[in-house]
Structure 1
Amino acid sequence: MKLTKISATLGPTNTGKTFSAIEKLLSYSNGVIGFPLRLLARENFDYVKKQVGEDCVALVTGEEKIIPKEAKYFFCTVESIPDNNFDFVAIDEVQLCSDYERGHLFTEKILNKKGKKETMFLGSLSIENVIKKIYPEILIKKKPRLSNLSYCGYKNLTRLPNRSAIIAFSLIDVYEIANKIRQAHGGVSVVMGALSPDVRNAQVKLFEDGKVDHIVATDAIGLGLNLNIKNIFFSSIKKFDGHRERKLTYDEISQIAGRAGRYLNDGFFGTTGNLKSLSQESISFVENYKYTEIQKVYWRNSLLNFSNKNSLLNSINKKADKSYFIQKKNASDQRFLRILLEDDFVNKKIINPLILKKLWELCRTPDYSRELDEFHTRFLKKVFEFLVDKKKMIPASWVDDKLKNIKKKTAKISELNHKISQIRKWSFLAFKGDWMENNYLLQQKIKAIEFDLSITLHSQLINEFVGEFKGLKSNFDKTLEKSFIKLDTKNFVQFGRETIGKLQGFRFIVNHSFKNNNIYNNKILKKHLAFFAKQKIDEFKNSKSSDFDFKVNGEILWKKNLIAKLLKNSEISNPKIKVFFDDFFSNYKKEIELRIRKCFEHYFSQNIGFIKKINLIGKPSSNLRAVIYSLVENLGHCKRENVAHYYKYLKSDELKSLRECGLQTGVFFLFFKSKGAKLFRQTLINIFFEKLLSNFLEKNYYALKKSSFSKKEKEIYRRMGFYLIKISKKHYLVYFEYLEKIIKKNFYYKKKKLKTYTPKNNLERLILESNSKIIIL
């Protein structure tokens, strides 16, 4: 059997170690790389996804799991490397084995996680001797730095050169420095380990794309984040490491300073703010790529005994058997376990090794918010209660209730950071197998909340530290375009999970509360509203005539949205068109007017097209002109008695032309029969006479208690086709076509002496049964 190849690629920053590991990974059929930060895992996951396709690449961190069915290459945080047997395994930044907080976790993976075919460790030369002690036969590859690194002295914050990163070690310092740089230089990005990947990527993109020339970051920048930085400036060399404030080691200074100058480009490091200089010794250490040899690394026993609580505690506290191991004591998960094991309820519930093992897994839930141990363990105890209850699951209702508080809106950067740390805890629990009810749905919900918080935080950071600088546009904004800012099927504008407005026709109505929110959100929104406007116009130009509707008051609706209005013109049949639009649609005004005019002409042709036909009859006599005038004036009908004199003297060919155009002769009227003419005629005449009607006269007749119309009203109704009639002392407003239909039917039944005719209403009954004369008033 072929022995597994174990190697270590060691060197200072900017040696291409990670790149070589990815190349090696892709040469195998499967493999995994463990990174020290979630952000680094995400960065390299995104990079390789573009190389080999998203179906082949997985991301596994404490708070996030993206594992396609066909995934071959895994990018993980060191703690989250799965138990799969991979051909290739690489662990990055292995010198972190000497880190007080997480060193034992790195050591555990170095000892126990090996590839079937090859294992590769990446890191500083400082770890060489310890790695050799662990694996005496290991192959060490030393890589030189690709560019020079030089000290450039002190620079005032107001005079920092472009393409510079400023390092600070507390949130207060980060924001204070960012504010000063913004005032001096116009804009700055902010990067911290506590930021979500989305916010971090968006902030980095501002810097990478040259939208801002300065970036303020915590020491997270030292762990391999690949930025095109020319200069690194330290504002301090003191940090709080979770237990005490201490000075950075020379190796830590070197690791951070090494971020300056990427690939073959030389880099520079210096000081700024309250830090006036570095010691000559530390400068020499960095410039000459020196390192302090690591003598010992942190270790903790990973073969735990869950038979009972004492056995577990003893196995955790087992002493190291190697001189180069420092036994890790008092790690956060150990502290949480000790506190919970002192609780009576917890002790009573530990009735078998499986429950004890589950308690230990629960204690490994990170305290992202860095609360007091007592507060965090109270939370863990409540989760434990659910896990040992009858359902053995965290109820979705309880999770939803807790998430509501996190979802509450705030614009304060500090509160947003805290909320993101809280949501990371829920994300961690949601990905713990089957611990949570409605697991998949809650994963999606939690992810969406984190994304929304990230959007808000990014916006607030932009608003606070960048403002209107250099016309911002990042990949994060492109994500917004696809998934964050939407125009839904009901024309509501969605900004994240909030409905902030609506598209009404060709006008965006945005809530005032959102408009007053912040500059950056509005800037993002305007860009997308312009995009939506273009989409809507494309849809509008290709729409069917049936999508339009003409109301009696002249309003023109498109897909039930008001877009324009017909206004009075010199001719009834050719009204003006007024389009309603806002600035987002102003460039499309002519296109909108053209499409509406085209639609109007279609409706005109379909409903009262006979008007144009009779006007085209060639060489009309004076009598025909008189008849045509009366028919056109009323848009397709007139009383016979009003044109009897002219009609009587029409030539045979003129009568033939009128009949070919569809003219019908009734008892009272000459008219053109058309199904849609009734309502369309009302619209045109109502506009011309300036809105007598507020609603269509859709019925064929209206019974009146008394005839109290003014002369003008009576004339308008007449031109619409509704005539005031009197029969047996009763008054009706009747549509002329309907009246002709009743009279014709009545005449037919009486002539044939048929008794099967059943009147449908009082008017039909009156005409059938009464011998009274119908009088048109």
Structure 2
Amino acid sequence: MILSGRSVTAVLGPTNTGKTHYAIERMVAHGSGIIGLPLRLLAREVYTRVAERVGPQNVALVTGEEKISPPNARFSVCTVEAMPRETKASFVAIDEIQLAGDLERGHIFTDRLLNLRGRDETLLLGSATMKPILLQLLPGITIVERPRLSQLFYAGQKKITRLPQRTAIVAFSADEVYAIAELIRRQRGGAAVVLGALSPRTRNAQVGLYQEGDVEYLVATDAIGMGLNLDVDHVAFAQDRKFDGYQFRNLNPGELGQIAGRAGRHLKDGTFGVTGRVDPFDDELVERLQSHEFDNVKVLQWRSAQFDFSSVSALQRSLDAAPRVEGLTRALPAIDQQALEFLARYPEIIDLADRPDRVETLWEACALPDYRRITPAQHADLIQSLFFDLVRYGTVNEDFLAEQVRRADRTDGEIDTLSARIAQIRTWTYVSNRPGWLADPTHWQEKTREIEDRLSDALHERLTKRFVDRRTSVLMKRLRENAMLEAEISVNGDVFVEGHAMGQLAGFRFTPISGTEGSDAKAVLAAAYKALALEFEARAARLHASGNGDLAISSDGLVRWLGDPVARLSGTDHMLHPRVILLADEQLSGTARDHVVARIERFVNHHISTVLKPLDDLSRAEDLQGLAKGLAFQLVENLGVLFRRDVADDVKTLDQDARASMRRYGVRFGAYHIFMPALLKPAPAELITLLWALKNDGLDKPGYGDLIPILAAGRTSVVTDTSFERTFYKLAGFRFLGKRAVRIDILERLADLIRPLLQWKPGTSARPEGAYDGRRFTTTTAMLSILGATPDDMEEILKGLGYRADSVTAEEAAAFLAAQSPSASAAADNATAADDAEADDADKEDAGDASAVVDEGQKPVDVSQDVTPAAAIVDAALGEDQAPAEPKPVLLWRPGGRNDNQRGGARQPDRRGQGQRAQGDARTDGRSEGRRDERARDNRKEQFGKNRDRDSNKGGFSGKGDRNDRGPRPDRDTKAQGNRFEAKPPRKEKPVDPDSPFAKLAALKEQMKK
């Protein structure tokens, strides 16, 4: 039966025509009324508006899950499914009646518009596409068409990250909605999400974020097309296909128009378009959407309202009845009918539903909504449990209900988990609101509502945390309000603006935290800089007034203020005057910037002049003249270190006054180097290395970053790395010698130890430790100690300094020394453990002295000791471990040419007429050394057994130890002779080198004689 349309008015038109507002105005004009809405969310919105007009005590809210029923309520706001089948209310309105053609819910809307009437007035609200079918089904109906208050325009396709603010992005699956919201959060600060699966409280909270301006984007399903009043300027379709409960299909133009029509409010025009992977709309579709011309609804979904409860099978037959009126079509089985079909297969259900009242109870149980979106079979099982309780006990088992509610009462977990719990509790909220289903419905209604609210709030919090950057949203809102932003900076430089972390302020540079990107990044940074403007000025003032102790230059070339980088150094033509480049954001400008730059430049100049004061003083020396001034210039250019061999001629030419004047500036004339000991300390060495690296782009060269920690440790020697830039070793005050690099001042101490060993003459005095025959020496524990080297390292070091090695067996060395000094041999035989302990103590003292930097006033090393037994030399050569089966040979070291170590370090020609250079890379001719060692082994027996003269190329000696008896052997050819080390007659007396540490001692002896 279809009621007449004579008292019915249909208000039709596109979205934004004010239909819902008109219905509310008409309802409150009556004494009572009911309005049905398509969504619980929209019902809640309308309920709020009506309650504001007439008072909450006069308005009821009735949905499947929520019921607010004041005793004397005159007006009811319902979902269409919750509307009564009959009413005595004066006014009835049904919104979005075009949903009568929906395959899933259409039959419910059809039933209400055909069978429910108000006593005085009935309004049907919906799209103009319903006009023909309404005129057909409801003769006498009044049609009122309302035009759209604003226009709608197509904006084409845009990337998601380029969509304008106040945009609603539409998708049709939860996964797609979440993915888009995540992208919007990263790029634009955040988005609210609206899905049909969310609880009304959660959806309201999300819509509130958008409406209040906390976020500028809304990502939603087609739920927003059902009359939600939102301030949307643009609607972008990220999908144009949806699953309608039966299949995936494209949206028809009417559905697209319903959603696109959400853009624009009241008199403000709106736009729509596509985004993501959706192809642009064709011109015909665009024209239809802009003009709101859609295909008319031709048939309405219908299902019989005349149920036969005599049996389950009779009920099924009544549900399958076909409509007898043209324009109606039988609806596909809905969820309740599907559940009934499943339950009808269970014999126990058929047996229990044996009376009409029980069949009606079964049908009421089948109306339970499937909030959980589970399979029909699982949903039917739950309905079966409820039906059994209702039939057998009259109410649902509260123990079972309590257990189900308890499982859902947890707020931990992520979005999907909370959504599932909300769907679970919504099921029991529906059960608690069914009349007669529970013994204490009020208690369970309150209980389930409380849990649902708590879960909804937790879900809203998770959604906001995941899809909304609160920092960005708050700042953007405050910027739109043109408000003064409040900034706070923690002690470690964390910047908070309006209570939200924005980034890190180090010195005068602000680094935003991750996530500040996209088209809104500039606005967010502008907000941060706006809040930091005063802080930049305050910091500039503090830096300008700070002391030198607050500033430092690090090994990476950065100038740091209180640990934060404020500038970096760059090389210039003048190595000691690098350029200062300020590290500051452009917000530091004007006078404040100039003051900061000036203060840093003053500090850099002061630091260099203080740490490198000896070098600076030498560069400014005005009392140096002639060669001394030239030598000082070279020393400054080479940053305080010169190889003596490279300036040997200049050094020889200097008179004593010139040398004395240079010594006053801290210059030391060593055996191997001309250097300034004060610059070998870690701080000057580190700064020198940095300045050279700045000028020569060496900060990134191999070795720079690794050598700096070694310099700071004050090491006397280090293991070399061939991958490092060798220049850094010299700059750091080290000499590269094979496997080890030795500090320059330590090499000069080594020269002090070697010099007496080469000057000693057999028979003149007690033989010092390490002296052999006056022309050769062996390494001593003192040498190893000051160098921190092993015997193998020592061999590399001495070769690098230009010494050559002869090898003899330990037995030969012992025999020779015994022949030299019988008393020493006897002493060796009587050596005791106490002597060894005393020697160990001496080694420790030498090792301790080696760590000190030698300056000009240091006393020469005392090397005068008793004659060392031959066994001690053998032990020193073999090391502390037990001697192997074949004793290692003893290396006897001699100068490569003239005694370069005692004659000023000048480059001297060797026997082949070539310059013997003490190169830092310690390159030696292995083949020549091998030939010498082979000849040494061939001649040992002849040399020691027959007491013959030793070959001069081997540093030979006569049995009597007389150096004047040596000479070339007649059986050697001229070429071989040229390669030998030949003993020469004693040279004529030459003036004592004023640089010799023994010069002062000789002068003192002369004074004592007088």
Query: TM-score band, normalised by the shorter chain?
Result: 0.5 to 0.7
Q: Does 1:144 align with 2:141?
A: no
1:438 aligns with 2:431: no
Residue 177 (structure 1) shift: 0.4
Structure 2 counterpart of 1:20: 22
SS at the partner of 2:124?
strand
1:7–1:119 CA contact under 8 A, matched in 2: yes
Report what 1:354 is aligned to: 357
Distance 1:288 1:4, change over 3 A: closer
Q: Distance in 2 between matches of 1:81 and 1:90?
A: 10
Instruction: Letter of the 1:460 partner, please give it.
Output: R
Match of 2:424 among 403, 422, 425: 422
- Report whether the alignment pairs 1:297 with 2:300: yes
From 120, 125, 134, the equivalent of 2:123 is 120
Question: What is the match of residue 395 of structure 2?
Answer: 393
Counterpart pick for 1:89 among 86, 89, 92 = 92
Aligned-residue offset at 1:471: 6.6
Q: 8 Å contact 2:189–2:473 — kept in the other structure?
A: no
Give the structure 2 partner of residue 5 of structure 1.
7
- Report the CA distance between 1:52 and its aligned residue: 1.1
* Counterpart secondary structure, 1:388: helix
- Alignment deviations for residues 49-90 of structure 1 (CA, whole Å, 9 cap, x no partner): 111110011110101110101111111010101243211100
2:284 matches 1:318 = no
What is the alpha-carbon distance in structure 2 between the residues aligned to residue 160 and residue 400 of structure 1? 48
Residue type at the aligned position of 1:6? V
The alpha carbon displacement at 1:35 in A equals 0.6
Q: Which residue of 2 aligns with 1:65?
A: 67
* CA deviation profile, 1:13-58 (whole Å, cap 9, x unmatched): 0000001111110110000010111111111001111111100111
Aligned to 1:643: none
171-180 vs 434-443, which moves further: 434-443
State the alpha-carbon separation in 2 of the partners of residues 364 and 150 from structure 1. 42
Q: CA deviation at 1:3?
A: 9.8
Deviation at 1:467, TM superposition (A): 3.2
CA contact (8 A) 1:3 1:117 kept: no
Distance of 1:394 and 1:176 partners within structure 2: 41
1:306-328 superposed Cα distances (whole Å, 9 cap, x missing partner): 12222211111111101211111
Shift in Å at residue 449 of structure 1? 0.7
Match of 1:553 in 2: none
Q: Which amino acid aligns with 2:14?
A: P
Give the corresponding residue for 1:265: 268
Identity rate, percent: 40
Task: Report the equivalent of 1:275.
Answer: 278
The letter of the residue matching 1:426 is W
Query: How many angstroms does 1:410 deviate by?
Result: 2.7
In 2 relative to 1, CA 470–183 (structure 1 residues): closer, same or farther, beyond 3 Å?
Answer: closer
Check the 8 A contact 1:411/1:460 in 2, yes or no.
no
* 1:290 CA displacement: 0.6
Structure 2, unpaired ranges of 5+: 476-1010
Q: Secondary structure of the equivalent of 1:58?
A: strand
Superposition deviation, residue 470 in structure 1: 5.3
The residue that corresponds to 2:341 in the other structure is 338
CA contact (8 A) 1:206 1:472 kept: no
Aligned with 1:69: secondary structure? coil
Q: Deviation at 1:413?
A: 0.5
Partner of 2:232: 229
**Greater Cα shift, 464-473 or 270-279:** 464-473
CA distance in 2, matches of 1:306, 1:405: 36
**CA distance in structure 2 between the aligned counterparts of 1:130 and 1:143, rounded to whole angstroms:** 18
181, 186, 208: which one pairs with 1:183?
186
Aligned to 1:192: 195
CA–CA separation in structure 1 for the residues paired with 2:225 and 2:213: 21
Aligned residues of 1:187 and 1:469 also touching (Cα < 8 A) = no
Aligned residue in 1 for 2:37: 35
Give the counterpart of 1:131 among 130, 134, 151.
134
Quote the Cα distance in structure 2 between the aligned partners of 1:204 and 1:3: 37
Q: Is the 8 A contact 1:211 1:469 kept in 2?
A: no
* Counterpart among 77, 80, 94 of residue 78 in structure 1: 80
Alignment of 1:584-623 (within 5 A): none
Change (3 A) 1:358 1:472: farther
The structure 2 residue matched to 1:49, chosen from 34, 48, 51, is 51
Tell me how far 1:416 sits from its aligned partner. Answer: 1.2
Separation in 2 of the partners of 1:20 and 1:220?
22
Q: How does 1:686-765 map to 2 (within 5 A)?
A: none
Looking at structure 2, the residues matched to 308 and 243 of structure 1 have their Cα atoms a distance apart, in angstroms, of: 29
Deviation at 1:404, TM superposition (A): 1.4
CA distance in 1, matches of 2:365, 2:474: 42
Give the distance between the partners of 1:242 and 1:472, measured in 2 at CA. Answer: 40
Report the Cα distance in structure 2 between the residues aligned to 1:408 and 1:452, rounded to whole angstroms. 9
Counterpart check, 1:406 vs 2:408: yes
SS for the counterpart of 1:469 is helix
C-alpha distance 406-151 of structure 1, shift in aligned 2 (>3 A): same
Aligned AA (1:289) = H
The aligned amino acid for 2:24 is I
Aligned-partner residue type, residue 462 of structure 2: Q
Q: CA separation of 1:3/1:223 partners in 2, compared to 1, >3 Å: closer, same or farther? A: closer
Aligned mate of 2:241, from 235, 238, 255: 238
Q: Give the 3-state SS of the residue equivalent to 1:106 in structure 2.
A: helix
**Partner amino acid, structure 1, of 2:406:** K
The 2-side partners of 1:280 and 1:421 are apart by: 42
Superimposed CA distance per residue, residues 604-651 of structure 1 (whole angstroms, 9 cap, x where no aligned partner) = xxxxxxxxxxxxxxxxxxxxxxxxxxxxxxxxxxxxxxxxxxxxxxxx
Moved over 4 A (4+): 470-473
TM-score, normalised relative to structure 2:
0.46
RMSD of the TM alignment (CA)?
1.5
For 2:161 and 2:195, the matched residues in 1 are separated by 22
Structure 1, unmatched stretches of 5+, are: 474-777
Matching residue's letter, 2:380? T
Q: Is the 8 A contact 1:317 1:329 kept in 2?
A: no
Aligned to 1:501: none
Letter in 2 for 1:179: E
Paired position in structure 2 for 1:496? none
Q: Deviations over 1:708-755 (max 9, x none)?
A: xxxxxxxxxxxxxxxxxxxxxxxxxxxxxxxxxxxxxxxxxxxxxxxx
**CA shift digits 1:337-370 (9 cap, x unpaired):** 1111221111111121001001001101111111
2:7 & 2:351 partners in 1: Cα distance? Answer: 48
Higher RCO structure (Cα 8 Å, ≥6 apart) = 1
Equivalent pairs, count = 471
What's the CA shift for 1:397? 1.5
**TM-score when scaled to structure 1?**
0.60
C-alpha separation in 1, matches of 2:56 and 2:197: 26
Quick one: which amino acid aligns to residue 291 of structure 1?
Answer: F
Q: What is the alpha-carbon distance in structure 2 between the residues aligned to residue 31 and residue 132 of structure 1?
A: 24
Displacement of 1:472 after TM fit?
6.2
Deviation at 1:411, TM superposition (A): 2.6
Partner of residue 249, structure 1: 252
Contact 1:260 1:269 in 2 (8 A): yes
SS class of match (1:153): strand
3-state SS of paired residue (1:314):
helix
CA distance in 1, matches of 2:389, 2:469: 46
- Residue 469 of structure 1 and its aligned partner are, at CA, apart by 3.1
Q: Which structure has the larger Rg?
A: 2
Deviation sequence 1:462-514 (CA, Å, 0-9, x none): 100113235769xxxxxxxxxxxxxxxxxxxxxxxxxxxxxxxxxxxxxxxxx
Structure 1: how far apart are the matches of 2:229 and 2:158?
24
- Verify: 1:368 aligned to 2:371, yes or no: yes
Distance 2:173 2:200 in 1: 19
2: CA distance, partners of 1:21 / 1:167:
28
Distance 1:316 1:468 in 2: 52
- For 1:399 and 1:327, locate their aligned partners in 2 and report how far apart those are by CA, in whole Å: 36
